Structure 1
């Protein structure tokens, strides 16, 4: 996952950079609003963490500028300002969530996960009128429950097919572990089960045997189909 942190507080920026990098993310840091805007408008990020109190312009302005420019990347505002008026202003400027300092790193990860689940799926889908789905070199036909990669058949179990179909319906989007459990197994998130990890490991192994890796494990968030 590619993250952009727009934060001028050096110590906090370093902590966030280290923690999110350890979670497997690629992190880019901007220490002022204008640099953050330039980066966010020129590079596609999966998430933006935005401080309100920046040296050149406040985070509310930065957020609104990004939204006006058509940037749809999820944004969480991070700030020491915790009054209701600021929260409302942040959300109205286009932020997806608002996190007050100080905060626990686990809370940040949880909020990022929650925002990711709320993000609206793309309006365009790879689903064809006949119900078949084609993404990159993968083709799934639900009528015959068959999958091919580059024309080669891939033997999958019903559950493996269910997981892959969920990923193929939203290529490039991160599908959380809890959503996979709910959609494929019909159960709520259970931290004690590793069934998702087991099935994804098998699925990736079968797909990788016929081509380059196409299912990415976004650590701490979920899985997505690389397009």
Structure 2
């Protein structure tokens, strides 16, 4: 499953190259830029899940870049990665809008841990962001269909491919009972098999990841019928079970018996001679 898209602002290639390589190895999509104005332009015109910013740049002070970003985007997680180690400089960086501050030289594992933490606790997007990026939002659940990312109450939820497909389908069909037959057809493209437990097992795994530890449940079971995704803001009192598909009865073909052919005589017609033939002269 794709992970977060990160903008990495660092003018020192000797630091940027190995750091970028490790981040990408961990699954992050990293866009590296060397100048502050380039970073600012991209952060204001493209979608990023987080940013790692140096402060000492060739064209502009990194603090100015962070302040400009914060004036337009108050929710973007930003880690400051700088050689400025004085306490007052750190405080200034945090006051400018950084969410975290890490001094150089740094341990890559520490950077990975800090990055993971700020991404997990990223604030929920605004309604404008939801519309601008085509996100799906139900209560505190956010789904990014382009990147196949899922967040619940601001926390990223790691889902396998089929788990994501099932969740996405359920969110698009809220407050409606989904039968096992329908889920097998839509998620696996399988014909219905009443003996299979593949749907039940997948729903159980998904429910554990999406509902465990949260006050509001999203995935429910209607025993003997199927499963449904509950939109907490909607009325499900009139929720109905889909009617089973009606299979048209095919009439038995009417077979007309073929006429039996007339028997073919094996001998010619019987000729009876007249009585005179038996008289002697």
**TM-score by structure 1 length?**
0.61
Q: Kindly indicate whether structure 1 or structure 2 has the higher relative contact order, using CA contacts under 8 Å at least 6 residues apart.
A: 1
SS of equivalent residue, structure 2 residue 60: coil
Q: Which has the higher strand share?
A: 1
Unaligned stretches of 5+ residues in structure 1: 129-133, 167-179, 185-227
Alpha-carbon distance in structure 2 between the residues aligned to 1:110 and 1:146: 41
**Max radius of gyration: which structure?**
2
8 Å CA contact 2:49, 2:119 repeated in 1? no
- CA separation in 2, counterparts of 1:62 and 1:10? 20
Runs of 4+ in 1 over 4 A off after TM superposition: 140-154
SS in structure 2 at match of 1:102: coil
Matched, 1:137 2:169: yes
SS at match of 1:14: helix
Ranges in structure 2 where 5+ consecutive residues have no aligned partner: 128-136, 141-165, 188-198, 215-281
Equivalence for 1:10: 13
Conserved in 1, the CA contact under 8 Å of 2:56 and 2:62? yes
- In the alignment, the residues of structure 1 paired with residue 169 and residue 10 of structure 2 have an alpha-carbon distance, to the nearest angstrom, of 40
- Structure 1 CA distance for aligned equivalents of residues 183 and 77 of structure 2: 32
Change (3 A) 1:7 1:149: farther
**Alpha-carbon shift at residue 157 of structure 1 (Å):** 4.8
RMSD over equivalenced CA pairs, Å: 3.2
Cα-to-partner distance string for 1:96-127 (whole Å, 9 max, x where unaligned): 10000001100000111121233223466413
Give the secondary structure class of the aligned counterpart of 2:97: coil
What secondary structure sits across from 2:138 in the alignment?
coil
Instruction: Assess, with a 3 A threshold, how the Cα gap between structure 1 residues 62 and 84 changes in structure 2: closer, same or farther.
Output: same
Distance in 1 (CA, whole Å) between partners of 2:112 and 2:91 is 22
How far did 1:136 drift? 4.4
